[in-house]
Structure 1
Amino acid sequence: MTADLLLTGTGNFAERILGDLALLVTRPLRVVVAARAEEANRLNWLRVAANARAAIAGRPLEVVTEIIDWDSNTALDRLIETHRPRLVVHAASLQSPTALFSGDSAWESLLRTCTLSLSVPMQAVLADRLFAAVRRSEQTPLLVNCCYPDGTNALLKALGHPVLCGAGNVAILAAAFAGELGLREPGRLKVLAHHQNLWPWRGETAPEHFPLPRVWLDGAELDDIRDRFARVRLTLGPAIPISGATGVPLFLALLEGTDWQGHAPGVDGLPGGYPVRTSDGKMALDLPEGLDRDTAIAWQLDYEFRCGLTVADGALRFHGRLAEALAAYDADLADGFALSDFPAAADRMCRLRDRLLAQPA
């Protein structure tokens, strides 16, 4: 049987997506969740829980599972050809974001200094393999990458994958701010934000290199967002109850071809996150009046040039604070790499991580 949605991964993000789908779907929806054999027990639990929640709510959701081998092109090709999904939502990565918030190894310390931009090569490995299988097939599903899409989608796009967007991140702030203001009408609040802009609301004083987002209410940009949203406090860990939930109305709109307004990161490989709208399964930026596309992108890139990464002219380059911190451990890797060297660079990053995980900070 074909699938409406193929979801990869068994983490908390995937769990939230399945749980909310089970409560919100109004039309029959078949979801295939795929993960490695080592995650079989967790995978089966997600299936049982999602189908149970759908039964409780009386919703027409069916969740089935598949074991996949990420190292086998044949297995990935078979996954796509067997289920022929209309939408692929990728949420499996070689680097968990939880390392930003816990652990005292040299790697976790480095990651906190550099932020998730450091992990982009590792975030992209499995997505690159999965999306390559899609491109080898005759299927044309919409591709959504949820693994740090603010930075990773630029790499995936440069590697030739027609990635549509991600989920969470900018949408976390937009949803939290709208909730604080009591807004329920879509489109009234618009937020321009990178993943790093979450930090001022994580309950700690944000370092100076984490800029504030830009926020518009009913077309007027707000200049008092610190005070206006002072009571918004996100968890110090990943804000899964919000971030996973933000993807569900987006995925349903894409599958049903309905009009929808909201926010998404990594749109068409762009850095950071933006207000967006969808119609007929297509997505476009929905910027506030007076903010043009080039200015919005330049605002996102400003942070990356100071302490992140960029992808351009066939290469990935680390910048500023990130490049300086990484150079202390691997000077050659800190220079970045040609996209043609991506698999080797990602493997080198994984080996550096494994070495630093064994060292105290």
Structure 2
Amino acid sequence: MTTEPTILLTGTGAFAARILFDIAATASAPTRVVLAGRNRERLQWLKVAAGARAAIFNTPVTVVAREADLLGEGAAAELLEETKPAVVVQAASVQTSSVIAGSHDAWSKLVQEGGLSATAVFQALLSSRVAEAMTRLGITAPLINCSFPDVVNGLINALGHQVICGMGNVAILSNVFAADYNLTDRNRIKVLAHYQHLAAWRRPPEARTGSAPRVWIDDREISDVFGTFRDVKLTPEPVIDISGASGVPMILALAEGRSWTGHVPGPYGLPGGYPVQLADGVLSLNLPSSVSQEEAVAWNRHFEEKNGLVIGTDRRARYTGVLRERLAQHSPALAEGFDVADLEEVHRSMQELRTKLQQ
């Protein structure tokens, strides 16, 4: 007798909700989702709503709510040992993605001027704890980190832990481009894109400048990406309805042992986003024939080297460009970067700075 695979989904925010709801609506094989978070009322509502969606769409999905606070000592390990997941999807964070939509405090201004890598330490905290617990327990289930994967997955990798990939970012663009181009066969499109490319598509077509994503259709690269997809426009706030949905087919393929082709950010800790394929549980790059892996990785890495956060082979994280300048105005010590092994300590210092700037 075979048992249904368990997907452990941590987090109860909008991103986790989109993942849960789309699993409930699209899973075709028996699937058990353990939803874990610290907000009891939110957990119960998401369980009820997801169960209703499974009933509406007649899918064989079971949702279990599990109260857990990943900030608590040993909470991640206890959760993993109890659930024995086939796939781990970490969507909880101590920094909401809505910071990109703006507010009037100095922290939001720092993020808007210096870039999202200002939040990398916050985004990495819970995911690194889950990854560490998995390593310590010998759990080999694939870990999907949903918190700023273009950069955070590199931090997790530098800490010596495994992470298969993230969700969203490059997959936002690949899917809106495919829809705009009316591609019924999504395998025909391949996109290289860093999270920094999303900003241009939040602006009107006439205001889009700078580097564009690289896009191939039928293995031929599009020369004018901004012009070809001028009708594509994203919302100022995080486009969770696309990004949260983008990884669901991959999650289900991993849980069921099926093949899948698409796009993901941060595969195995690489910077930026890539076209990939999943076969026999192994995710590999699925690049156009004209681009080598070295070229693709270097192209994606360039954006954080110019402005952001880069992790060196010495396992030291260094801030660069405008972000480093803005951070130095508030904390010269933090602007100098950090050894990845000191992530927890750096998080406390960064939290003090964030609290100060938000007042």
| TM range, smaller chain | over 0.9
Post-superposition shift, 1:74?
Answer: 3.0
2:20 corresponds in structure 1 to 18
Post-superposition shift, 1:30?
Answer: 0.2
Matched letter for residue 348 of structure 1: S
Matched letter for residue 107 of structure 1: W
Matched letter for residue 307 of structure 1: N
TM-score norm. by structure 1 comes to: 0.95
1:71 corresponds in structure 2 to 71
Once the two structures are superposed, what CA deviation does each residue of 1:204-251 show, in whole Å capped at 9, x if it has no partner? Answer: 47685x521111111011011111111101111101111111010011
Identity %: 44
CA distance in 2 between counterparts of 1:106 and 1:116 reads 14
2:33 corresponds in structure 1 to 31
Partner-residue secondary structure (3-state), 1:26: coil
Partner-residue secondary structure (3-state), 1:237: coil
- Give matches, 1:107-256, under 5 Å: 107-204=107-204, 211-256=211-256
Rate the CA distance shift 1:341–1:206 in 2: closer, same or farther, 3 A: farther
Counterpart check, 1:80 vs 2:80: yes
Mark the runs of 5 or more structure 1 residues left unpaired by the alignment.
none
Post-superposition shift, 1:157?
Answer: 0.6
1:302 corresponds in structure 2 to 302
How many residues of Structure 1 are paired with residues of Structure 2 in the alignment?
Answer: 355
Matched letter for residue 243 of structure 1: S
Native 8 Å contact 2:178 2:186 kept in 1 = no
Which residue of 7, 10, 24 maps to 2:9? 7
Native 8 Å contact 1:15 1:46 kept in 2 = yes
CA distance in 2 between counterparts of 1:71 and 1:305 reads 31
Post-superposition shift, 1:2?
Answer: 8.2
Matched letter for residue 173 of structure 2: L
Native 8 Å contact 2:168 2:243 kept in 1 = yes
Post-superposition shift, 1:186?
Answer: 2.8
CA distance in 2 between counterparts of 1:107 and 1:71 reads 22
Q: Which 4+ residue blocks in structure 1 deviate beyond 6 angstroms? A: none
Rate the CA distance shift 1:102–1:59 in 2: closer, same or farther, 3 A: same
Counterpart check, 1:344 vs 2:345: yes
Rate the CA distance shift 1:139–1:340 in 2: closer, same or farther, 3 A: closer
1:323 corresponds in structure 2 to 324
Mark the runs of 5 or more structure 2 residues left unpaired by the alignment.
none
Partner-residue secondary structure (3-state), 1:167: coil
Native 8 Å contact 1:2 1:82 kept in 2 = no
Native 8 Å contact 1:169 1:195 kept in 2 = yes
Partner-residue secondary structure (3-state), 1:92: coil
CA distance in 1 between counterparts of 2:162 and 2:341 reads 18
CA distance in 1 between counterparts of 2:37 and 2:135 reads 20
Partner-residue secondary structure (3-state), 2:247: helix
Counterpart check, 1:106 vs 2:103: no
Once the two structures are superposed, what CA deviation does each residue of 1:110-158 show, in whole Å capped at 9, x if it has no partner? Answer: 1111221111111011111112222222432110100000011000110
CA distance in 1 between counterparts of 2:71 and 2:225 reads 46
Counterpart check, 1:267 vs 2:270: no
1:357 corresponds in structure 2 to 358
Partner-residue secondary structure (3-state), 2:74: helix
Matched letter for residue 274 of structure 1: Y
Native 8 Å contact 1:73 1:133 kept in 2 = no
CA distance in 2 between counterparts of 1:289 and 1:203 reads 32
Native 8 Å contact 2:5 2:255 kept in 1 = no
CA distance in 1 between counterparts of 2:207 and 2:128 reads 33
CA distance in 1 between counterparts of 2:224 and 2:155 reads 34
Native 8 Å contact 1:3 1:32 kept in 2 = no
Native 8 Å contact 2:102 2:112 kept in 1 = no
Matched letter for residue 68 of structure 1: A
